[in-house]
Chain A
Amino acid sequence: MIPWLTIAIALPAVGAALIWALPRTAAPAAARTAAARASASASPAGGGTATAVRPAAPAATGGGASALTAKRLALGFSLGTLAVVAAMALRFDTSAAGDLQFEEVHPWIPRFGVNYAVGVDGIALALILMSVVLVPLVVLAAWNEHEDRPDGGRGYFALILALEAMMVGVFAATDVFLFYVFFEAMLIPVYFMIGRYGRGDDRARAAVKFLLYSLAGGLIMLVSVIGVYVLGGGFLWSDLAGEGGALAAVDPVTARWLFLGFFIAFAIKAPMWPVHTWLPSAAGASRPGTAVLLVGVLDKVGTYGMLRYCLELFPSAVSWFVWPVVGLSLVSIIYGAILAIGQNDMMRLVAYTSVSHFGFITLGIFALTAQGQAGAALYMVNHGFATGALFLVVGFLIARRGTSLITDYGGVQKVAPKLAGVFLVVGLAGLALPGLAPFVSEFLVFLGVYAFSPLPAVIAAVGVVLAALYILWMYQRTMNGPTKEGLTGMRDLSARETWAVAPLLALILALGVYPQPALDVINPAVERTVGIGTADGASEGAAGAQEEEGNAE
């Protein structure tokens, strides 16, 4: 039997190690900075006196060559990972998508009952697929981003691959400890991607903010992880979860605390109002490629964790949390949308739209209905593609103009029609236009939430209206109107950029018209979750709902 998941984790990790191990230029620091300056200003061979250029030139070409090798390696390894995961997905037994497949279990730290245990059900598979689709596109989009750095961005590409390994690992882990390890460890590459390779002067602060928020959440979760171990006697998810699981006998109050520990970490990650404040600044200071992975994949770990860990490990606690979480989700939806409207920075704007979208996802999850959760799971995938594409297009704009401020743009449509067209399509995907993928998932969420309770669905619908406002207004201000000064010579999409964004457009369209393959994979897995949620939750949830409303008045 082929250990597909292990290969999918190991392959990018090996790639990252290879890129790190590429020979560095032996030039001393002074020559290296000189080389960087020389390569940045003009072609090293052409200008300058021979004596000044001689020591710089070999360093420059050496750095450039190894940077190019690094990019090629990164693209190669990410495509290889995509191929491995795609091959795995083809072997995935859709009829048993609710069960863990491709399972591997090896003891890792016997003393604590920790296993290296991986496996995927339908939801995990869909999220892994989404992640590995995004990574090569990010590499492609970031191809020329770091030309001016001394290392040519080599470290950035190594970090992307290292992150990819952890992203696959975090979704594939079926051991709570292993999940936690990936959950925390993946902060480090992102931290360096923002702080070291990010944009703007504020990036160090943004990186620290991101890390501290996530770390604080993660540490709170650690208490719950330890609690799970102490009460459950092990970490294997399959032993812990469900009716007959080791955690079923935990008394409800303890279960609530443990649930809360996990939930806080996931809410910070997701990010949910009021612990969302790290995301706009992190996204604003990120390179677009980083933002794609951060918002598109990393934040999904939060919502995925709620579904997989909060709900399935502590079914008895769920009903208690339903209404508070629904309330927070609604606030996130409206608040994120309103703040998105007010943004002048496109990166921050997209980040705020994501706060709003994540509100829909958590709303769908905690509606505890099959449609709601299927919609939420599908939303995670679609949001990854749609928001990923949106970030990439904003990145193309930034690459041309050097700024992400809306006020610096205008009339782009006249000079770069292809770019504007793509921008419009991904924007419309962001506001969930029918025919595009996010519509399906958002519609499912609405169905599920309405079945759960009409009021939240009505409030959430306001978010959809606001979505139209922030997307279309952004489009209008940047693409329409008279062409701004300095934009007249703007290039349209290059072949590389087209390749980076075309697959996403194709996926958005395909999943919008025919979402059945994705739903086939997701639905059985959701059934299992819902089964757990409703068995203890639905009736109590309704009771709790009335109680909650009574309290609210």
Chain B
Amino acid sequence: MIPHMDLPVITEAPPQMDWWLLAPLLTVFAAGVLGVLLEAFAPKERRRGIQIVLAVLALLATFVLLVLQVGTLPADEPGVTVAAGVLAVDRTVIFFQGTITVLALISLLLISERRDGRDAFAAQAATVPGSEEERAHILAGSQHTEVYPLVLFAVLGMLMFPASNDFLTMFIALEVMSLPLYLLCGLARRRRLFSQEAAVKYFLLGAFSSAFFLFGIAMVYGYAGSVNFGEIRTAVEAGGAEIFQGGDGEPLLLMGIGLVAVGLLFKVGAVPFHNWKPDVYQGAPTPITALMASCTLVAAFGALLRVFFVPFGGSIEAWQPMLWVVAVLTMVVAAVIAVTQRDVKRLLAYSSVVHAGFILTAVVAGSTDGLAGAMFYLAAYGFTTLGAFAVVTLVRTKDGGQELGDLERWAGLGRRSPGLAGALALFLLAFAGIPLTSGFIGKFAVFEAAVAAGAAPLVVVGVLSSAVTAFFYVRIIVVMFFRDPEGEGPTVVRAGAATGGVIAIGVAATLLLGVYPGPVLDNLLPSSETGPEPVAVMVDQATTETGSAAASE
């Protein structure tokens, strides 16, 4: 028996499309489509240049549009829904989208970097690794300029993911985001089998988690009779759709929440759904790893926050214990495993898992402060992690050789190139949460929200895990600065303008957000004190419930 069904597509009048508010998404989408066409029509030798310009311009335009949008949002309301209610536009969403756009732009710098005419991607992905054919393509200087439209499509998915206002849109966004990433992961120029293995792993596990997500959506639909977030929220508060009486739909909702959570927690890489992260981060071309570590994480957390705060905001007591467990597991397990890592990209992957755990403490808080803390943390972490991966692309086994993953062989880097090692040291200290870096402010923001919501034990676990993670960050610094190079030591290739720029931006953002975070915290993030003005739809609907729930604890 199907409960009432009024999906917007069935209405007779065409849905109200607010083109202006859709413009950022459409820009990225159009640029992606144009990029595909360019692959067919633009002359081979000029394709790469055109693609880069197109992608950069598209993302720049998107960012400008997003900034302009903030001014046109109704001042007294938190936000609006567009395109027949499938997408929400509010200040929180725009913050997420803006962050994703900026981080994607920076990643694009890394992606476009070339050395000796070669970028980080396979000359011809269709050739068998090690074959004659591959050699021929390498010698001919083939390259995959499809990378750029693929990145644009992935970014489109990321922009939609936290903005979705119903579960179907969110699922589509998830797939739009993930499919190009699966492909991009398999495109590494060096160690191609490794890269392809990573792609397959990511794809299989990702598809698996998507299925969970979809299954969860079905459960929630069965419970609420709608996929729309607002209606689900109403249904949750009312104890289920009309057909249920006396809370006998509760199991459906709980299963739905659990299964949807699996899909989302997979994307953020929380334990026990983290296994893909180290393999994929290690195997993927490093610029793509950087893109995933920054933008994908922001998008996934944006969606996670949205799902838990808006449709499930009314049943905070149902999902809070679950996220408690996941957060504790994530912080503890990942920190302990990370200690044993020897490869820098794997280590950064586990570090990313631990950070996801820290951010989850803010989600557990279920408050406006938690939302704001998570938002700040994500932005700060994004810049820092991009910088860190940019450094990774520069340290090689030999000039023109592959990246040097083995940390032990990074010995003496601080002596060989103090600037680069210094920058990485700063990023690591930010990861460790040392004051005067953005990492500390972020950590303070999320932990403060958790303590205020009565989750002090969670924060104690968090700081202990921080202490463990500090150990391996510090170990890298020891290797770089305090140890003599073995033999030749690592080779540091000269940073091109793009990579150098990424590192510089990372350093600047890490210090600026650490020393003077006031403007961002006060103006861009939702706050429970300043009234409805900066508060987003997401929060506005959630605070009434979660705020009181948190206060009552």
Binding site for B on A (CB under 8 A): 29, 107-112, 150, 180-182, 184-185, 187-188, 191-192, 195-196, 203-204, 207-208, 211-212, 215-216, 219-220, 222-223, 226-227, 229-230
Residues of A within 8 A of B522 (CB): 110-111
Residue in chain B with minimal CB distance to A108: B518
Judging by beta carbons under 8 Å apart, are B474 and A212 in contact?
yes
Interchain CB contact (< 8 A) of A185 among B436, B452, B467: B436
Residues of B within 8 A of A108 (CB): 518
> Known interface pairs A111-B518, A195-B478, A208-B474. Does A185 touch B434 (Cβ–Cβ under 8 Å)?
yes
Interchain CB contact (< 8 A) of A219 among B448, B452, B463: B463
Write out, one digit per residue, whether chain B residues 432-472 have a CB within 8 A of any chain A CB (1) or not (0): 11111000110111011001100010011001101100110
**Distance A109 CA – B527 CA, assembled complex (angstroms):** 14
> B429 at the A/B interface (Cβ < 8 Å)?
yes
> Known interface pairs A185-B434, A196-B481. Does A109 touch B474 (Cβ–Cβ under 8 Å)?
no
Judging by beta carbons under 8 Å apart, are B521 and A109 in contact?
yes
Interface centre among A108, A180, A212, A222 (most CB of B within 10 A): A222
Residue in chain B with minimal CB distance to A204: B482
Judging by beta carbons under 8 Å apart, are B470 and A226 in contact?
no
**Distance A187 CA – B451 CA, assembled complex (angstroms):** 26
Q: 7 A-B residue contacts at CB 8 Å?
A: A109-B521, A112-B444, A196-B481, A208-B474, A208-B475, A219-B464, A223-B463
Chain B residues 54 to 70 lying within 8 A of chain A, measured CB to CB, are: none
> B191 at the A/B interface (Cβ < 8 Å)?
no
A509 to nearest B CB, angstroms? 39
Residues of B within 8 A of A212 (CB): 467, 470-471, 474
Residues of A within 8 A of B444 (CB): 112, 222, 226
> B483 at the A/B interface (Cβ < 8 Å)?
yes
Judging by beta carbons under 8 Å apart, are A192 and B481 in contact?
yes
Residue in chain B with minimal CB distance to A197: B482
Interchain CB contact (< 8 A) of B467 among A107, A110, A219, A229: A219
Judging by beta carbons under 8 Å apart, are A223 and B459 in contact?
yes
Judging by beta carbons under 8 Å apart, are A184 and B435 in contact?
yes
Judging by beta carbons under 8 Å apart, are A195 and B447 in contact?
no
Judging by beta carbons under 8 Å apart, are A203 and B518 in contact?
no
B445 to nearest A CB, angstroms? 8
Chain B residues 412 to 428 lying within 8 A of chain A, measured CB to CB, are: 414-416
Judging by beta carbons under 8 Å apart, are B456 and A223 in contact?
yes
Residue in chain B with minimal CB distance to A229: B448
> Other CB < 8 Å A-B pairs besides A196-B414, A227-B451, 8 of them?
A109-B517, A195-B482, A204-B483, A219-B467, A223-B447, A223-B451, A223-B459, A227-B456
**Distance A29 CA – B518 CA, assembled complex (angstroms):** 41
Interchain CB contact (< 8 A) of B470 among A150, A181, A211: A211
Residues of A within 8 A of B440 (CB): 181, 184
Interchain CB contact (< 8 A) of A111 among B416, B481, B527: B527
**Distance A333 CA – B466 CA, assembled complex (angstroms):** 32
Chain B contact-residue range equals 35 or more
Interface centre among A108, A203, A208 (most CB of B within 10 A): A208
Residues of A within 8 A of B525 (CB): 111
Residues of A within 8 A of B471 (CB): 208, 212
**Distance A215 CA – B475 CA, assembled complex (angstroms):** 14
A96 to nearest B CB, angstroms? 32
Residues of A within 8 A of B415 (CB): 29, 150
**Distance A195 CA – B436 CA, assembled complex (angstroms):** 21
Residues of B within 8 A of A216 (CB): 464, 467, 470
> Known interface pairs A208-B474, A222-B463, A229-B448. Does A203 touch B441 (Cβ–Cβ under 8 Å)?
no
**Distance A111 CA – B452 CA, assembled complex (angstroms):** 14
Judging by beta carbons under 8 Å apart, are B464 and A29 in contact?
no
**Distance A212 CA – B474 CA, assembled complex (angstroms):** 9
Judging by beta carbons under 8 Å apart, are A226 and B459 in contact?
yes
**Distance A112 CA – B442 CA, assembled complex (angstroms):** 12
Residues of A within 8 A of B441 (CB): 109
Residue in chain A with minimal CB distance to B478: A204
Residues of B within 8 A of A222 (CB): 443-444, 447, 463
**Distance A40 CA – B157 CA, assembled complex (angstroms):** 60
Judging by beta carbons under 8 Å apart, are B518 and A226 in contact?
no
Residues of A within 8 A of B464 (CB): 216, 219
Interface centre among A29, A108, A112, A212 (most CB of B within 10 A): A112
Judging by beta carbons under 8 Å apart, are B521 and A111 in contact?
yes
Judging by beta carbons under 8 Å apart, are B481 and A208 in contact?
no
B466 to nearest A CB, angstroms? 5
A146 to nearest B CB, angstroms? 15
A206 to nearest B CB, angstroms? 10
Interface centre among B432, B434, B471 (most CB of A within 10 A): B434
3 closest Cβ pairs, A-B complex: A219-B463, A181-B435, A204-B482
Residues of B within 8 A of A229 (CB): 448
A484 to nearest B CB, angstroms? 32
> Known interface pairs A226-B447, A226-B459. Does A207 touch B478 (Cβ–Cβ under 8 Å)?
yes
Interchain CB contact (< 8 A) of A29 among B416, B445, B463: B416
Residue in chain A with minimal CB distance to B483: A204
Residues of B within 8 A of A184 (CB): 434-435, 440
**Distance A112 CA – B451 CA, assembled complex (angstroms):** 14
Judging by beta carbons under 8 Å apart, are B482 and A203 in contact?
yes
Residue in chain A with minimal CB distance to B433: A219
Residues of A within 8 A of B517 (CB): 109
Judging by beta carbons under 8 Å apart, are B518 and A109 in contact?
yes
Interface centre among B432, B433, B448, B522 (most CB of A within 10 A): B448
Residue in chain A with minimal CB distance to B448: A226
Residues of B within 8 A of A185 (CB): 434-436
Write out, one digit per residue, whether chain B residues 477-501 have a CB within 8 A of any chain A CB (1) or not (0): 0100111000000000000000000
**Distance A204 CA – B452 CA, assembled complex (angstroms):** 39
**Distance A85 CA – B478 CA, assembled complex (angstroms):** 36
Residues of A within 8 A of B518 (CB): 107-111
Judging by beta carbons under 8 Å apart, are B482 and A215 in contact?
no
Residue in chain B with minimal CB distance to A216: B467
Residues of B within 8 A of A195 (CB): 478, 481-482
**Distance A88 CA – B441 CA, assembled complex (angstroms):** 32
Interchain CB contact (< 8 A) of B478 among A110, A111, A181, A208: A208
Residues of A within 8 A of B474 (CB): 191, 208, 211-212
Judging by beta carbons under 8 Å apart, are A226 and B451 in contact?
yes
Residues of A within 8 A of B443 (CB): 222
Interface centre among A187, A192, A203, A219 (most CB of B within 10 A): A219
Chain B residues 507 to 539 lying within 8 A of chain A, measured CB to CB, are: 517-518, 521-522, 525, 527
Judging by beta carbons under 8 Å apart, are B451 and A230 in contact?
yes
Residue in chain B with minimal CB distance to A194: B482
**Distance A188 CA – B443 CA, assembled complex (angstroms):** 18
**Distance A110 CA – B459 CA, assembled complex (angstroms):** 23
B370 to nearest A CB, angstroms? 13
**Distance A286 CA – B432 CA, assembled complex (angstroms):** 24
A51 to nearest B CB, angstroms? 24
Residue in chain A with minimal CB distance to B434: A184
**Distance A150 CA – B412 CA, assembled complex (angstroms):** 13
B344 to nearest A CB, angstroms? 18
Residues of A within 8 A of B447 (CB): 222-223, 226
**Distance A254 CA – B548 CA, assembled complex (angstroms):** 22
B494 to nearest A CB, angstroms? 13
Residues of A within 8 A of B448 (CB): 112, 226, 229-230
A541 to nearest B CB, angstroms? 28
Residues of B within 8 A of A227 (CB): 451, 456
A211 to nearest B CB, angstroms? 6
Interchain CB contact (< 8 A) of B460 among A107, A110, A196, A223: A223
**Distance A242 CA – B333 CA, assembled complex (angstroms):** 42
**Distance A150 CA – B429 CA, assembled complex (angstroms):** 25
Residues of A within 8 A of B481 (CB): 192, 195-196
**Distance A191 CA – B459 CA, assembled complex (angstroms):** 26
Residue in chain A with minimal CB distance to B441: A109
B135 to nearest A CB, angstroms? 35
B551 to nearest A CB, angstroms? 12
Residues of B within 8 A of A112 (CB): 444-445, 448, 521
**Distance A185 CA – B436 CA, assembled complex (angstroms):** 7
